[in-house]
A and B are shown apart, each in its own frame.
Chain A
Amino acid sequence: MTGHGATQGDDLATVRTLAEMFGLSLREEHLGEVAAGWRLMQPHLTRVRQVELAEDEEPAAFFRP
């Protein structure tokens, strides 16, 4: 579980799992910091996912105005 309502323990577990899946090497003593960073991202992750976009709305990768 992660995001709104998740406990610190949940976030630590999520970070451990994701790091393992993505092959990211993390030191145990930094897990708390990463979990705090992860918590900070959650409202933004939720918000961005909820945005309704038209099918032809292209990504702005290597954005040029």
Chain B
Amino acid sequence: MSVALELQGVVEISRAIRARQVSARAVTEAALDRIERRNRDLNAFRLVLAERALAEAAAVDKALTQGADPGPLAGAPYGVKDLFDVEGFPTAAGSKIGAAESPATQDAVLVRRTRAAGGVLLGLQVMDEYAYGFTTQNAHYGATRNPHAPDRTAGGSSGGSAAAVAAALGEFALASDTNGSIRVPASFCGVFGLKPTFGRLPRTGSFPFVHDLDHLGLLARGVEDLAVVYDVLQGHDGGDPACAARPVEPVALGLEHVARPLRVGLLHGWFHDMAGPVARAAAQEAASRLGAQARVELASAEDGRSAAFLITAASGANLHRRNLETRPQDFDPAVRGRLLAGALLPADALVQAQRVRRKLYGEAVKLFERFDLLVAPATPTPAPGLAETEITLGDRKLPTRPNLGLLTQPISAIGLPVVVVPFLQDGPPIGVQLIAAPWREDLALAAARRLERAGFARCPTPPC
């Protein structure tokens, strides 16, 4: 086996490339070869950009030859969800309509930052149309399959990104999370995911869904990789009016060094009642291993989830209204009906929904006076089958598609940073949310690292 194929992870690959033990070109060719072999079955990539990837790898190798530093991600291959602008290609956002638009004239800000740090872009990854879904079953581009159980969903809407990372078709992926679109597929595919605080990472050059709920983040197979890439992505950009003018707050070097013991609470109430036994057990175990001191409640979690549900439908409808009226036949039928219904919601209910968010946020702020970290399941169950239309929770049967995010929605509704850690068990993987106070991604990542080092949080071996 070649050195390029044996290497795993951003940190290891970049270190080997910088030490000239392997070329970026060899690593890129190995990644492209793996995509060629696996993508037909998984449908993780909508578009593979081999020419660009090889050119970026050549630039990394050339920089090293000239004695220059290619950056902390030197030669690390990655993919992006199909809603990031990539120069020369239309930004489809999982839609037929977007795919017919003019090509992007420049890369999204986060893609530019990743490239400047030496990352090698492999391609664009399959998603639910306009990010409105939790299963990545796309009428235009097909369903993404779960690498660990091909008859099960990869989750969504960043399903292509999570499946690619889980199957080692690239070392990390840039993705988005409005209601759980990083955390749900991370849970189902057994990878680590980071959804930073709302306003942390600039969305400039990415296709929006819900302006005041959209977060950008990433997926990887290890916590150190998440942290190293996240550090590269940080920094204000004026192109996104919601991006906070905060300094870069690096986390990678502090992963192992939390100044004091973390105060950890296990979220109960909604997060217990709406989780199946596997999800409950995983969250309980994670909380115990982190030394959880108490079970706590976010009393308005269900209200906040409902608020997010309505705001999402109305905002999506507003964004796409013209096309919904003039060319509805070009939408994915699974998305079209909900978007159109969103255009019918009454204004007073939407104002009320925004007030409910504020109430929930107030409750969370109070909790964070007593705790550094809150722990909750990421999804109510492990990945359901692609054809399963209902999930069972106790004696309740719920429609699958709208309910896979019921444990993630209350958290993104108030913009809190979350790391999802994969929990290995006998069956398919499931993830646990480690939730921190605003701007404390460092604490969530440090806790994730602790669980990873203890062997509790770990990605399943990528299938061959």
Contacts and interface: CB of A to CB of B under 8 A. Distances in A.
A24 B322 CA distance: 10
A62 B339 CA distance: 20
B295 interface: no
A41 B309 contact: yes
B341 interface: yes
Contact of A22 (B213, B339, B344, B416): B344
A6 interface: no
A63 B416 CA distance: 12
Contacts of A24: 321, 325, 340, 343-344
A27 B340 CA distance: 11
Nearest to A64: B199
B303 A47 contact: yes
Contacts of B199: 64-65
B78 interface: no
B55 interface: no
Interface residues of B, dominant DSSP: helix
A63 B344 contact: no
Interface in A16-57: 18-19, 22, 24-27, 30, 32-38, 40-41, 43-45, 47-49, 51, 53, 57
Contact of A37 (B244, B300, B340, B354): B340
A22 B318 CA distance: 12
A59 interface: yes
B354 A60 contact: yes
B237 interface: no
A52 to B, nearest CB: 9
B126 to A, nearest CB: 23
Interface residues of A, number: 35
B307 interface: yes
A41 B336 CA distance: 14
B356 A63 contact: no
A47 B351 CA distance: 14
Nearest to B417: A65
B242 interface: yes
A61 interface: yes
A38 B344 contact: yes
Nearest to A61: B354
A1 to B, nearest CB: 15
Contacts of A22: 343-344
A65 B438 contact: yes
**For chain A, what secondary structure do more than half of its interface residues adopt (helix, strand, loop), or is it mixed?**
helix
Contacts of A60: 212, 354-355, 357-358, 361
B413 to A, nearest CB: 9
Nearest to B359: A57
A48 B325 contact: no
A63 B306 CA distance: 16
A44 B312 CA distance: 12
Contacts of A64: 198-199, 242, 244, 415
A45 B416 CA distance: 24
B341 A53 contact: no
B198 A37 contact: no
B328 A63 contact: no
A48 B242 CA distance: 25
A24 B345 CA distance: 12
A43 B402 CA distance: 12
A57 B358 contact: yes
B450 interface: no
B457 to A, nearest CB: 26
Interface string B228-257: 000000000000001010000000000000
B349 A45 contact: yes
Select the residue from B305, B307, B339, B344 with max chain A CB neighbours within 10 A: B344
A63 B212 contact: yes
A51 B349 CA distance: 11
B340 A33 contact: yes
Interface string B128-171: 00000000000000000000000000000000000000000000
B310 A51 contact: no
Given A60-B358, A62-B211, 17 more contacts: A24-B325, A30-B328, A30-B336, A38-B344, A44-B306, A45-B306, A47-B303, A48-B303, A48-B353, A48-B356, A51-B355, A53-B355, A58-B355, A62-B212, A63-B198, A63-B212, A63-B213
12 contacts: A19-B344, A27-B328, A40-B338, A41-B313, A41-B345, A49-B349, A51-B356, A59-B357, A60-B355, A62-B212, A63-B358, A65-B415
